[in-house]
Structure 1
């Protein structure tokens, strides 16, 4: 082409300027004027930003647009804020915006036709079938005549690709087991990694705490929740990662049994002595009764002072809040609730009692004093309870807990480290190698050693930070604080974000203890350990944002994300509703459930329904067909393999 493609820069400037003068212009023209219709790319980027702001309910004005472009790094590329004011000054009134928009759209159609000519000329010299060239050319002409251009995508939410679990930051004996189990079970590393953290928390919780600075101390127990659909082999991973804890629990029981027998015998002897002294005092005459009564009182107190140890229990499964409180009191303040299911949440919410009871779990995470009242015995209290929670739940459970009374308001969700790994079902390798005997034995022996080493501690071991490690914690606090401000990245998750630094400190404490199995309490935590814990913190922060996003979205949006995942996985550029349902029916119950989902995706620009072919003869009608926006596959500006319409526009 020797002539410049059809365009009118003055009309383009007038459209953008009118939109900045009158925000309603964007709403009126967004459906008919696409960013690709603008000849100058700067104007296309400006129109795309304005349409996105209008679609998400943000104010459309020069200040808001400049702020958005500055955040994305595009403000300088479009000429800066002065150019925005130049655009406003170029239009005397916004009333003529639709006239200028028609000029811009008409030139865009003419460029499409010109591009078609180049495309046909190029393909004519290849071995491409002539019928295919003609059919494609006819489709392009139809689109150009109809003014059919893709509008910018309107995001469904903030959900994006989430980071993988950084298992490499864990001590070698833990990391080897995590990767080995993930490979053998063909499950995400995230699942085994989070359960491994829960296992370390079970071993160390209530027996050690990290001294940050001043009176700030963090216990070393965690709440972790992994979200995976049914059939993800959660139980197999739990069995592998938690099995050594049950072995250690049995060893503690065997070690405690002789002490229980001895205490029971001492209690019987003291009871007999108290009974004998009481009988002697009852039968004595008045002169000697006072002395014998004092002796009987002392004997009764001695008998009552004999404490019979309980059998150690490290792990519980589906317990009520009341049972958890009793077990914490019996077990010296340490207990873990570990399960490949999420039934505990319904129990906490009052499935049996009808009344939510979160106190045990809130105090059990924070380490606040817990008082246990029983009908048959006097009240007991746990000075520093340490409850560990390690669960793997289905996605529906995650969404249900957001609606459970008090879970968000009282802070239970703020204490949870969420993990939303990508499901591997359908892509698993058959016949994967099992975990090596050496790796499994090392994991079992070391986790057992950590349990046994800390089992006898009554007062928690205090783990100080080195000055350098304290500086790393301060760096984390400085980075987190602006995110919690209104409008900050975590402004809607202040409850969770406020506990973020403490969670990283807890993770650092567990990494430290796992690397120094038998003398960790005698060594300060190093800066490098805090940095490794910070990588875990980054992982959990990204997943928490996605988890809270999922908990707040409606069913249609959740299903829409499943449909987009299917489109990306199959690389579909067109599909029928029937084909789609066959691909997603394991996650979306009925074909009718797809109707609002497809409508939502059309509204957001991801899909466009194609005209149904004329029906001929009997039988059911053809399934609706849909065209996929090219940007869904990361190929913006390309449709059906054709060059982008703006391929010869200026840079």
Structure 2
């Protein structure tokens, strides 16, 4: 779904209300969550191959255009050289009008074509700004390990990058970057989809930051709405299935069709003042959307969900529109989005809700997940030990004092550990812990 959204880009949107200007563009953020060597990269590889083939098609066209541009440049240079002789002769004759006309004819502007891009892996905000201006349909950020990218947003001097990425999820706002040395870069529309993998422990650290409030509580994690955290299969079976070339080519044909999409050809509207053409729901789908959204928002306003999960689910109306638009276009439909397509998007959201609950669970389980992590590392701790001995090792999921202390409290409660009174001495006494036999 994220790959298809990346192929479409922000060339078209879906208007979610009959009257108000609520338009969602097909930009999707998601990741596959799993332990190391759990198969995340092989699961992501087919989408990456499709996007790379699209990029290859566009690169070939770009190289052909560059060759044509080079030929035109040679002709222009020869034309200017010849024009100088004609101009000199005209001036000698006193015919300044003819000289000016010849000069104007020789000054032909022929800008070089810009190199098309679909995927970006590791680029600064400034460079992304240049790429987005050259590729106004938007880009796909693809990272095999998204934790490294998230960590880069917390580095000193990169504080403003988070604000840029928050804008990229909407795909509608402009953004201006001012840097000494590079000057001012104005990005007409920040539009990025994101796809990658992440390990559970590293994700849990960011989720805890969002739950506790503070700098990480800015809605960045909640934008990863296509994040999935599947269970590992109980068993394992060797498989070596032959690739179906027909299915592969049909999929590739869909990607190419979406990349070449002309919104006007499928009935998209674009009134004055609207930044992208858009489709609408048909009447049945519009009524279904209103019914679903009314129930969904009533559930959130009832206060039955934790605040962090409520923030995540509150973005589902936008997600429903984006998924419905991608499904509608991928199926080759034009005109209004139908109710059966919207129903499939709603089913997607129901499926994703279960994964969202699992993703946020480590931050709301009172230290239970950390307790399991600490039990697995029991042999690595000398006895007795303190909470500081745990978090100073920077183990995933136990890398701060609060997480370590919560995990220890759970283990004490369930009698895996017993607390030892602090020994008298100089300085602040620390509680130490020892494992029960």
- Residue 150 of structure 2 corresponds to residue 338 of structure 1: no
- Please tell me whether the aligned partners of residues 202 and 388 of structure 1 are also in contact (alpha carbons under 8 angstroms): yes
2:4 pairs, out of 193, 196, 200, with: 200
Q: Structure 1 pair 594/364, CA: closer, same or farther in 2 (3 Å)? A: closer
- Residue 328 of structure 2 corresponds to residue 512 of structure 1: yes
- Please tell me whether the aligned partners of residues 25 and 171 of structure 2 are also in contact (alpha carbons under 8 angstroms): yes
Shift of 1:223: 0.9
Match in the other structure for 2:28: 222
Shift of 1:349: 3.6
1: CA distance between counterparts of 2:75 and 2:183?
23
- Please tell me whether the aligned partners of residues 417 and 435 of structure 2 are also in contact (alpha carbons under 8 angstroms): no
- Residue 166 of structure 2 corresponds to residue 356 of structure 1: no
- Residue 128 of structure 2 corresponds to residue 324 of structure 1: yes
Q: Structure 1 pair 337/623, CA: closer, same or farther in 2 (3 Å)? A: closer
2: CA distance between counterparts of 1:427 and 1:204?
38
Report which structure shows greater RCO (CA 8 Å, sep ≥6). Answer: 2
Match in the other structure for 1:600: 410
2: CA distance between counterparts of 1:456 and 1:336?
24
Shift of 1:440: 3.4
Shift of 1:236: 1.7
2: CA distance between counterparts of 1:297 and 1:413?
56
Question: 2:160 is paired with a residue of what secondary structure?
Answer: coil
Question: 1:357 is paired with a residue of what secondary structure?
Answer: helix
1:558 pairs, out of 359, 364, 369, with: 369
Shift of 1:600: 0.9
1: CA distance between counterparts of 2:277 and 2:140?
19
Match in the other structure for 1:469: 285
Q: Structure 1 pair 560/439, CA: closer, same or farther in 2 (3 Å)? A: farther
Q: Structure 1 pair 308/377, CA: closer, same or farther in 2 (3 Å)? A: farther
Question: 1:417 is paired with a residue of what secondary structure?
Answer: coil
- 1:539-563 CA-partner distances (Å, limit 9, x unpaired): 2233334434435677x43223568
Match in the other structure for 1:537: 349
Structure 2 residues not aligned, in runs of 5+: 380-394, 419-433
Q: Structure 1 pair 348/601, CA: closer, same or farther in 2 (3 Å)? A: closer
Q: Structure 1 pair 322/348, CA: closer, same or farther in 2 (3 Å)? A: farther
2:196 pairs, out of 391, 398, 413, with: 391
Shift of 1:338: 1.3
- Please tell me whether the aligned partners of residues 229 and 359 of structure 2 are also in contact (alpha carbons under 8 angstroms): no
Structure 1 residues not aligned, in runs of 5+: 1-196, 567-576, 579-585, 612-621, 626-651
Shift of 1:391: 1.7
Shift of 1:361: 2.2
Q: Structure 1 pair 318/288, CA: closer, same or farther in 2 (3 Å)? A: same
Shift of 1:610: 11
Q: Structure 1 pair 528/411, CA: closer, same or farther in 2 (3 Å)? A: same
Question: 1:392 is paired with a residue of what secondary structure?
Answer: strand
Match in the other structure for 1:160: none
Shift of 1:296: 4.5
2:256 pairs, out of 443, 448, 451, with: 448
TM-score (norm 2): 0.72
- Please tell me whether the aligned partners of residues 129 and 185 of structure 2 are also in contact (alpha carbons under 8 angstroms): no
Match in the other structure for 1:180: none
Q: CA RMSD in A?
A: 4.4
Match in the other structure for 2:225: 417
1: CA distance between counterparts of 2:320 and 2:168?
18
Larger radius of gyration: 1
Question: 1:226 is paired with a residue of what secondary structure?
Answer: strand
Match in the other structure for 2:299: 483
Match in the other structure for 2:340: 528
Q: What are the residue-to-residue correspondences of 1:268-417 with 2, within 5 Å?
A: 268-270=74-76, 292=99, 296=103, 300=107, 302-303=108-109, 306-342=110-146, 343-350=148-155, 353-371=157-175, 383-402=188-207, 403=209, 408-417=216-225
Question: 1:247 is paired with a residue of what secondary structure?
Answer: helix
- Residue 37 of structure 2 corresponds to residue 231 of structure 1: yes
TM-score (norm 1): 0.51
Tell me how many residue pairs correspond in the alignment: 388
Match in the other structure for 1:158: none
1: CA distance between counterparts of 2:56 and 2:239?
33
Shift of 1:414: 3.2
Q: Structure 1 pair 624/203, CA: closer, same or farther in 2 (3 Å)? A: same
1: CA distance between counterparts of 2:277 and 2:174?
20
- Please tell me whether the aligned partners of residues 326 and 372 of structure 1 are also in contact (alpha carbons under 8 angstroms): no
- Please tell me whether the aligned partners of residues 129 and 187 of structure 2 are also in contact (alpha carbons under 8 angstroms): no
2: CA distance between counterparts of 1:235 and 1:610?
38
